[in-house]
Structure 1
């Protein structure tokens, strides 16, 4: 085989030949920058294979049959002033007796890529020999963040790496291997691997669960407080280089700093002068939709003030310095005074809202609705029906049901996927009976922040195992659960929502409903007959007869002290799997509009809000 040195500017791509002599059509430009960096650092390791094309007047051009990506990388080095266009390039020629296109195809087909395990071990040996991560990144054209991942995989226990080499390459196998990087030592990796292999469950989620990387509450708390505050308080963690499943060693510290962050936020809002400050979770679900908000003036914080606030917040979170806390409160009050009038501050309040993943958001100038006023229509008196709770209390209870189903559904991956698909296939604008309402806007934050691109989400989800995808689907379904009922003619667990609730593990849903039920709000807001009935169902008839003679304040206190611990829940919160005192309400097949004259209007308003 003849070897020649040919000036770079005389070489042309194989697909420019007539007919083309290279097989690759897809991915011609992929990874060219990385390849150029490697050639620049190590030289051209494999000569280009070329074929001369002639006509009656002589040579038409020299075309590359195999090595077109290398040719593109060499041209990039010229653009980067690392080569000259006239520099010679080592090339070999195709045998004149062989069809160049066929030979190029054969070479591509018979080439076997290096197994990732072998590749990463080689990189690890370079690092062990003294090459820094930055040098590896620059000499091989690899992103520094990816170098950290490569070296973490290359440093895995040989037991895990040998198993990896023996498996058929797949996203599931790669995910499991990545999960082992969360183990604190090679010994821990090997012990866990042998245990899971014996159980026949070497999967990413099993590895993460065994290593403690499945604590969403701790992760949420760290998101609320900030990683710096967690570490400053002495918290330790092993960072997940391949995702967000960090191993949080000190969940108690995470909870503590989150509580401190929330308390500091509330204190700051009170210092601004609002008439009340509350957590969003304490107000029920519907406040975001229907409660009015005052409009702010133009006196917003300047860029310098925002920096100062961030600096003071960080100092207070780390040290608890009283002087800094006072300075922060004074600054926040001054800004609020420019932005809001005294009348607005006295009339409205502020809500601290925490998202599922720990995103902390403050909503200012929220105006609570006035207490419902009883109105009587003129004309003939209507026949008095059975007593009912107020629409406002019914709405709050249905909001609590919504939050409970959301909480439980996140722990039911398969049910979550089914609910997500059912919601997508059935939800429609107006008459929105579906308890899972799937909208097209996605789950990005509002207020101008960009949503994650489809390509980014698709790539991220493609790397997940089936079990992980189920979990994502459950999270999406939970975000979309909507069982809010503004009028008491329709129960939260109606004919549409009941099958969803019945599919969730009873213990999960029972715990979630007990946690979200606001007993003080219910017994304080419901009329006397409902409180007495609760005592009758939860305790006995005798105690109910005694309670019926109490004044409302004493009755409420007695109910709070004796009813919740029995597992009793109001009928509005009794899912089909409810097992506490009292009967589960019968579910009839009905049109919600028959019981709720404002049904269409309410759902249209909610849809418009979601689209906003």
Structure 2
């Protein structure tokens, strides 16, 4: 074993045989050397009155930089191991030490930071010792505090780094583990965030309306997202129910005012009822007492967090009465059902189809002949509830992907994700009736005349789905239910299948 000795820094210079040519010194590396010194001795060989550093060039550069700043006593002593190498042997030594070196996995690195903090080292000491910014030290400590199961999934490549970062939004290890198990293989960042935070796109508007101070004064906490990306909110609420309650309390005065004015109901629109309830077609017509008595108002926040009041909504019982009271042409016109789905309902169907595609793609990697690694990459790019953020190449190619999946697997996934109650309750009445007829229910089995919209969609939910029927927006070459399936896109040839 080569002897270890102490030599002055001034006697050391980089060995031309050192194969590592990069000299980029990160602030964290410099901070560590400055605080702790060189822990692993440099490997050197004799060169006249001095020494050539065969392995440890970055450590040497850091010591020289610190010396120039006058922070290590001018010419400090440095621990070295002396080898009697020729030029070729020195190059081989340098290559060997660099080639066989395995970098620490980020998860282990962050866990080590968390261990330092748990052992009593302050956040500020960690920041200074490793040259981290305030944000960086918060990030490494949060990642180091992840559940052991989440860290293991990350180290085993069952979880990408950006998805692991999303888990920091949930401090409870048990819930982290439950979410990891529920999401299954290779969950992407958006899926993890949604599982933790819910669909919180409305929370930003509510927070503007309620104000952060009022929310925190009421006991709510604002969760900071240390890893928020460009389009993501940098903070989230810990208690959405509290935020919603505060918003409703704030609009109570307006609701009371509307009720006092004679409207039959005035509600804060939590579940987008305005896209589902029937509505009297009165436009700018000044409401009379009889109109107010049979209809009501829904209040909601616009994109800027401002309160908006929409009127003329009728609930099931009132809508039925209005339909029967066809005393004028205007009233008759108001009962006419739309012939197309709303954009909101179309978007929900598209999200269901995307989620089904994602699930089937991951399940069908062997049967479909798709390479598992490629399937993971494609599946990670599918974001069911944020279709607009998907790469165009992925969006354009999904129909062909579905055509190459095993029909029974993609069909099962689509059926599983189809929300029949949401669809039939939100679709226009005549579209629901058409679906019932398409599913082979004749006038003897179901007579729509005289039935309310609620009666019709409840019948559809209970009976139509049992026939295997799906909306045309969810159909593909895999569809086997009533009516004809759509034509299949051109299929890619599958290797290894005949």
TM-score scaled to structure 1, two decimals? 0.44
The 2-side partners of 1:103 and 1:497 are apart by: 50
1:172 aligns with 2:116: no
Residue of 26, 33, 41 corresponding to 1:39: 33
Residue of 490, 494, 505 corresponding to 2:415: 505
Deviation at 1:72, TM superposition (A): 2.9
Residue of 94, 99, 120 corresponding to 1:104: 94
| Corresponding residue for residue 460 of structure 2 | 567
Residue of 197, 214, 222 corresponding to 2:203: 222
Change (3 A) 1:205 1:70: same
Change (3 A) 1:6 1:507: closer
The 1-side partners of 2:107 and 2:400 are apart by: 50
Greater mean deviation of Cα atoms: 221-230 or 168-177: 168-177
The 2-side partners of 1:576 and 1:90 are apart by: 70
1:184 aligns with 2:172: yes
| Corresponding residue for residue 399 of structure 1 | 343
Q: Over aligned residue pairs, what C-alpha RMSD do you find?
A: 6.4
Q: Structure 1 stretches of 5 or more lacking a match? A: 265-277, 285-350, 355-359, 365-391, 419-463, 482-494, 524-528, 548-557, 591-612
- Does structure 2 conserve the Cα–Cα contact (< 8 Å) formed by 1:52 and 1:62? yes
| Corresponding residue for residue 326 of structure 2 | none
- Does structure 2 conserve the Cα–Cα contact (< 8 Å) formed by 1:38 and 1:140? yes
The 1-side partners of 2:250 and 2:378 are apart by: 32
The 2-side partners of 1:23 and 1:177 are apart by: 35
Q: Structure 2 stretches of 5 or more lacking a match? A: 254-268, 276-299, 309-336, 363-372, 391-398, 489-498
- Does structure 2 conserve the Cα–Cα contact (< 8 Å) formed by 1:417 and 1:473? no
- Does structure 2 conserve the Cα–Cα contact (< 8 Å) formed by 1:397 and 1:573? no
1:478 aligns with 2:478: no
Note the alpha carbon deviations across 1:397-447, whole angstroms, 9 max, x for none.
3735532323313533526879xxxxxxxxxxxxxxxxxxxxxxxxxxxxx
1:87 aligns with 2:75: yes
1:514 aligns with 2:458: no
1:133 aligns with 2:123: yes
Q: How many residues align?
A: 373
Change (3 A) 1:262 1:404: farther
The 2-side partners of 1:97 and 1:220 are apart by: 65
Q: Matched residue of 1:412: which SS?
A: helix
Note the alpha carbon deviations across 1:3-31, whole angstroms, 9 max, x for none.
353445x65444xx2xxx12335x642x6
1:23 aligns with 2:4: no
- Does structure 1 conserve the Cα–Cα contact (< 8 Å) formed by 2:45 and 2:82? yes
Change (3 A) 1:218 1:70: same
Q: In the TM superposition, what are the counterparts of 1:246-257 in structure 2 within 5 Å?
A: 250-256=239-245
Change (3 A) 1:559 1:72: same
- Does structure 2 conserve the Cα–Cα contact (< 8 Å) formed by 1:22 and 1:101? yes
- Does structure 2 conserve the Cα–Cα contact (< 8 Å) formed by 1:412 and 1:474? no
The 1-side partners of 2:483 and 2:343 are apart by: 18
Change (3 A) 1:114 1:212: closer
- Does structure 2 conserve the Cα–Cα contact (< 8 Å) formed by 1:182 and 1:240? no
Deviation at 1:255, TM superposition (A): 4.4
